[in-house]
Amino acid sequence: RSPFLVSGWQLSIGGFLLLIAGFPGMKEDSLVFTLKGNLLLVYSMFLSAIAFSLWYAILSFHKAGEITMFRFVIPVAGVFLSAAFIPGEVLNPYMAFALVLVSAGIVVVNWRNRGVS
């Protein structure tokens, strides 16, 4: 089976189940979408499709164990993107310290003893 097809069905079914689970607690005007909301929905769909496509393309060339370490970069990118695009969000000392810890985690996970072959 195609990993793209499996991911598409997985995300679609999961989203549908989440809607069903949340339906009993919804208010009458909960599902009112504006143009901006629809554009964000379409943008997030394309973003997810591109991210999964890139992930599976990379997996076709490299072993999963070699590239999963790069998933540590996700919170780092999230911090910088939040600081760049969310009004009022700034990079504070706590975030900087957390980025140092994440970076240290990447180094520790990838640390290889150069003397051993």
Q: What is the pLDDT of residues 75-114, one digit of tens each?
A: 778 888 888 888 888 888 988 898 888 888 777 777 764 4
**What separation, in Å, do the N-terminal and C-terminal C-alpha atoms of the chain show?**
37
Task: Work out the average pLDDT over 63-76.
Answer: 75
pTM given for the model: 0.55
Token output for 14: 């999961």
Instruction: Report whether 41 contacts 33 (CB < 8 A).
Output: yes
% of the chain at pLDDT higher than 90: 9
* Residue 21 pLDDT class (50, 70, 90 cuts): very high
Residue spans of the domains in the chain: they are: 1-61, 63-117
